[in-house]
Amino acid sequence: MTPEEEREFIRRRKARNWVVFGTLVFFVVLFYAITIVRIGGQGG
C-alpha cells in the first residue's frame, strides 16, 4: 500500500467513525427525549 493509499484509507475510516458517532448521538438524544416526554406525561 502506497503512502497515498494509506492516507485515503485513514481519511475514509475517520469519516465512517464520524457517521457512527453521529448516529449514536442521535439515538441517545432520541431516547432521552422519549423518556422525558413519558415521565412528563405521567404527572397529569
Stretches where the chain sits below pLDDT 70 are 43-44
Domain containing residue 24: 1-44
Task: Tell me what pLDDT residue 36 has.
Answer: 93
Distances (CA, A) of 18 to 3, 4, 21, 24: 23, 21, 5, 10
pTM for the structure as a whole: 0.73
Provide the pLDDT for residue 1: 86
Number of domains into which the chain is organized: 1
Instruction: Name the E strands within 1-44.
Output: none
Let me know: does 39 contact 32? Beta carbons within 8 Å. Answer: no
pLDDT at 41: 78
pLDDT at 40: 87
